[in-house]
Structures are given as C-alpha cells and as structure tokens.
C-alpha cells in the first residue's frame, strides 16, 4: 500500500497527512476549500520545522515529506488512485455519512475506507456503503505526528483481513494500534469525556475555579494537562459533539453535557481554535483566566 487519501485539512487531517507522508506514503489531501488546504500545508511545514529544531529530522526529510503530499479540492480526483482513504472531517454523523456515500461511489472497489471519528458508530457509517467489510475506524490522537496511540475500531461487518491490514499499517507509521469494539465513544472518549464533563460541572457548581481544578488534576493525579485546558485544546465544540453522541447512544444521563459547556459553545467560545475557552488565548498562547461570567 502506497497511495493514501486524507479527507479534511483541519487539525486532525493535516496531522494524519503529515504522518503518512513522513512515513513515505503518497498522500492526497482533499478539502473543499483551497485556503484550508493551504493552511493545512503551512501547519505541516511549521511542525516539520519544529522537528528539525529538535534534531528529530533533517531538511531533506522535510522536503521529502512535503513532496509526498498533493492537494485536491475535488473528491473524485483525490480518491481515484487510493488504496486507503482516511476521512477526518468534522465530528458530525450526517456529514460523515454523506462523505462515505461519495467515497464509496468514487474510490476503487478494493480501497479500504477509514474514518477518524472519535465517537460515531463505524457500523452506522459502513451501512451507507456497498463495502461495509472494508470500513474501519482509525482514531488518531492529537497531535497526530507525536501521539503514539491509534484506536482501531471494527464495525459489525469489518473483515479480519481489513482489521489486520490496518493494525499492521499503523505500526509502519510508528504508532501503537489498539483494537476496540464499536460502541459510542469507543474507549478513549468513553473514559475521557465524562471526566472533562465532570470538571466542567465542578466549575459550573462553583466548587473551584478553572486553574484550581486543573492544578488538582495535574499535581494530584499526575495528568500532564488539566481537564479544562485539555477541553480547550480538543475544542469545546468537539467535546460537546462527542458527549451528545454518547448521550444519544447510551440514553444514560451521566453522559449529558453540562449546561455551561453548551452555553460556551453557543457563545462561540470553542477553546484554542477560537482564541477563548476556559482560558484566554487571544493575545498569546499562554493561558490566561477567562472572565468568571461564564460560571
């Protein structure tokens, strides 16, 4: 397998494209927006520069990685030679179902269709295609070039052959693939999101402030990042979407999003990506306390 297509040039998409390209794959990066593609390539170049500064790679490695990436705004052109397509669009079930229907119609019949979804049913997505046995979840962690874990999620119809292929492929990327079953949130987010949601509830109920909650979790539980800072890093809109998928999937009130999270997302406070969340990122990347008016 040499030809990989990545759908979506956002944070996850450009990270996945970077990782495959650095490992020697021919990568087609597809997005409907040329500015998004340009921004994605710029992000990849900056991340490669950081790796050069840390003496992890050379200038030649950077050039080779970037040369391995071709961009497309038309899905048909981007997937026509693909052996694997990894979809990394927004965490929205309707959007993903639409994209998979298009990929199924346009990609070669022997092509494996993977999704980077962090919570949505692989079985549901696969059911929209004529090749459910070739549909699988590849949930990369952010930042993709650095984080070792890839959750490999089998749908109800995913074949053993496809699962084994993707497990081995993930290892060639320098990742540690871990196979999990297809339930809302899988493993990573089924455990992580209730913790983040409980931290937001703790703030909402006035038990402690943002920095105090994060300090307790960092120093008391040895977490490298507090849950509220991590929520900002993931994106509060993404956290909300995942919790809604889990709440809808399990019908269990413990997964219901905190009203504070809902209000912040409605107000456009989505975390690092918007410049403000539980911390203020508007003037520098150093976290400053957001106004307590949200609480």
Q: Is 1 annotated as a binding residue?
A: no
The active-site residue out of 139, 170, 197, 241 is 139
User: DSSP characters for the chain?
Assistant: --EEEEE--SHHHHHHHHHHHHTT-EEEEE-S-HHHHHHHHHHHHHHHHHHHHTTSS-HHHHHHHHHTEEEES-HHHHHTT-SEEEE---S-HHHHHHHHHHHHHHS-TT-EEEE--SSS-HHHHHTTSS-GGGEEEEEEPSSTTT--EEEEEE-TT--HHHHHHHHHHHHHTT-EEEEE--STTTTHHHHHHHHHHHHHHHHHTTSS-HHHHHHHHHHHH--SS-HHHHHHHH-HHHHHHHHHHHHHHH--GGGSPPHHHHHHHHTT--BGGGTBSSEE-SSSSS-EEPPGGG-
In angstroms, the CA 259 to CA 150 distance is: 31
In angstroms, the CA 121 to CA 184 distance is: 6
Q: For residue 94, what are its two tokens?
A: 């309707």
Q: Is 98 annotated as a binding residue?
A: no
Q: Is 9 annotated as a binding residue?
A: yes
Q: Is 175 annotated as a binding residue?
A: no
Q: What is the CA radius of gyration of the chain?
A: 19
139 among known catalytic residues: yes
The active-site residue out of 3, 28, 47, 118 is 118
161 among known catalytic residues: no
The active-site residue out of 189, 197, 241, 274 is 189
55 among known catalytic residues: no
Q: Is 96 annotated as a binding residue?
A: yes
Q: Is 8 annotated as a binding residue?
A: yes
Q: Is 118 annotated as a binding residue?
A: yes
Q: Is 174 annotated as a binding residue?
A: no
The active-site residue out of 83, 87, 151, 276 is 151
Q: Is 10 annotated as a binding residue?
A: yes
18 among known catalytic residues: no
Give the annotated binding-site residues: 8-13, 31, 91, 96, 118, 142, 273
Give the annotated binding-site residues for NAD(+): 8-13, 31, 91, 96, 118, 142, 273
Which residue numbers are catalytic? 118, 139, 151, 189
């Amino acid at each position: 397998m040499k030809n990989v297509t990545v759908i979506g040039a956002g944070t996850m998409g450009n990270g996945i494209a970077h990782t495959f390209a650095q490992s020697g794959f021919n990568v087609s990066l597809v997005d409907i927006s040329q500015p998004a593609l340009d921004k994605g390539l710029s992000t990849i170049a900056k991340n490669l520069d950081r790796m050069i500064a840390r003496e992890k790679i050379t200038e030649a490695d950077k050039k080779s990685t970037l040369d391995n990436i071709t961009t497309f705004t038309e899905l048909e052109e981007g997937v026509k030679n693909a052996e694997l397509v990894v979809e990394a669009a927004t965490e929205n079930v309707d959007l993903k179902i639409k994209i998979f229907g298009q990929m199924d119609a346009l990609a070669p019949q022997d092509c494996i269709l993977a999704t980077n979804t962090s919570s949505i049913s692989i079985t549901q997505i696969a059911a929209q295609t004529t090749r459910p046995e070739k549909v699988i979840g590849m949930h990369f962690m952010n930042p993709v070039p650095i984080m070792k874990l890839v959750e490999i999620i089998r749908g109800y119809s995913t074949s053993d052959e496809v699962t084994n292929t993707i497990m081995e492929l993930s290892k060639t990327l320098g990742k540690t693939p871990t196979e999990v079953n297809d339930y809302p949130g899988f493993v990573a987010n089924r455990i992580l999101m209730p913790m983040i949601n409980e931290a937001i509830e703790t703030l909402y109920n006035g038990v402690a402030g943002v920095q105090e909650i994060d300090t307790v979790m960092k120093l008391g539980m040895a977490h490298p990042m507090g849950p509220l800072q991590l929520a900002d890093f993931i994106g509060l809109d993404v956290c909300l979407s995942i919790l809604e998928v889990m709440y809808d999937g399990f019908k269990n009130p413990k997964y219901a999003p905190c009203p504070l999270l809902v209000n912040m997302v409605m107000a456009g406070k989505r975390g690092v990506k918007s410049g403000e969340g539980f911390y203020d990122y508007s003037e520098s990347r150093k976290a400053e306390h957001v106004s307590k008016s949200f609480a």
